[in-house]
Structure 1
């Protein structure tokens, strides 16, 4: 049954694209599934279920995220088998590193080191945090902060679990530019975290901007930052190419999952379900956001 339309809000669109419109069969099934879940929960949970399907989606998605992380780690294991066999993409690891090493210069080494620090444990949270807080203040909503926190938490979890599980050695120290790093190599944490957080920040910027050139600029700068961050890790000899590729792929997959969850939340908040409280009077949900 089609869901009844509700009032529009500025965060529902990117340019002319309606984020609450699902054009695939899976997307429409996903929305219908969460609406059905809210209806089923209402008799059991009483007023708790009156959060609306949108807020219920946040709770259920937290559980789904844990499963997703487990599946991604399992995927890391499969990739690592390819790495240890030295076939496929892994065969490019040493040649690519050697190609980078012969092109190093003292000045370029310093510049790349300064850039790669932007994706570290201090630089990346600052960059993403400032951008997200600025958007949240501009919108006067906690939604961007919640999205970023969920994205960051999953990103860090996948990085830590993946490194501990694979425990791959980094490139030889004599091929690396100091300061050396001692944690396991696979996947690249700088690359994974930058991919997730920058993708989410770009997504939030796209929602806020109205000019095409601004959206093109945001996507271009974001893509360049993520690509260069990964390549900087190989150039400095801190990671193998396969570490970086894994960081790109896993990070993008997680960022897309978070964005999809936000779109689902928007859809269910705006369209709701028959008999659901109006968006203007609904109680705050578990994220502290009033849908």
Structure 2
């Protein structure tokens, strides 16, 4: 009888290659958080917020609100990702797309939310609506806020989630089109929404500028971790043998 040994799974290459970039992202997030905890960069956040409040003509404001809908998790990102996963699974006869979507949901839930609770930072709009905090108080991180104050501003969930979920959506679209999705469109889907959300959440004063910058670092880290997983090589139970085909296409 011939003995078989399990194939060793290797991380999928990402760009830039190597773990040094992941370490740099972690260090950047930690450094930014530490600097904010000392009170530095509050002036930058306050200046950007003040400018946004002072330059909000109605057409521009509602245009920004419309583009900001790109970051709606439950209303757009999850349903869209789930629908694409179903389409890819049916076309490729594989349940593997659901592993990717499930992993994205888990890693965002286990990181973004707990970090928001830990840092306890109000949003810029806390200064113009109840509990009407002074801007100098609302901008503080690791602050003991009133019970009725929104205290989940850092990091921006819109931006971090957009990096993760639009990365997932791009992978699923590429798979659904059997690799025929153009490189330009693939990159547009991956990178345009997070950039738009960084601008709109800051302009609308939903988040401080540093909330968005921290979310960029965190989102890129989570995105790289998800794309390192060899989804097509993960072992599946025998009963799923007929639904275990590969689905990943390379752009």
Instruction: Name the structure 1 match of 2:60.
Output: 108
1:283 to 219, 230, 238: 238
Which structure has more helix as a fraction of its residues? 1
1:240 equivalent in structure 2: 208
Give the gaps of 5 or more residues in structure 1: 1-48, 58-67, 270-278
CA gap of 1:190–1:150, structure 2 versus 1, over 3 A, is same
* Match among 32, 46, 58 for residue 94 of structure 1: 46
Check 1:91–1:140 CA distance in 2 against 1; reply closer, same or farther (3 A cut).
Answer: farther
Q: How does 1:39-78 map to 2 (within 5 A)?
A: 53-54=8-9, 76-78=29-31
SS in 2 for 1:122: helix
The answer (yes or no) to whether the contact 1:196–1:251 under 8 Å persists in 2 is yes
Distance (whole Å) between structure 1 residues aligned to residue 6 and residue 238 of structure 2: 6
Secondary structure of 2:229 counterpart? helix
Match of 1:18 in 2: none
- Mapped contact 1:51–1:283 kept (Cα < 8 A): no
Distance 1:193 1:228, change over 3 A: same
CA distance in 2, matches of 1:84, 1:165: 12
Deviation string, structure 1 residues 206-258 (Cα, Å, up to 9, x no partner): 4545447x221121233111111122111111111111111111111111111
**CA distance change for structure 1 residues 182 and 120 in 2, over 3 Å: closer, same or farther?**
farther
TM-score (norm 1): 0.60
Give the whole-Å Cα distance in 2 for the aligned partners of 1:131 and 1:92: 40
For structure 2, the residue ranges without an aligned partner over 5 or more in a row are 12-21, 130-148, 247-251
Q: Secondary structure at the match of 2:207?
A: coil
How many corresponding residue pairs?
Answer: 210
CA distance 1:94–1:211, shift in 2 (3 Å): same
Which of 190, 193, 196 in structure 1 is aligned with 2:158?
190
- CA distance in 1 between counterparts of 2:5 and 2:237 reads 8
Match of 2:238, SS?
coil
For 1:172-191, what aligned pairs fall within 5 Å after superposition?
172-174=125-127, 182-191=150-159
Distance (whole Å) between structure 1 residues aligned to residue 63 and residue 162 of structure 2: 18
User: Given the two structures, how large is their TM-score scaled by the length of structure 2?
Assistant: 0.68
| Corresponding position of 2:171 | 203
Q: Equivalent residue for 2:108?
A: 155
Conserved 8 A contact 1:209-1:215: no
Contact kept? 1:97, 1:234, Cα under 8 Å: yes
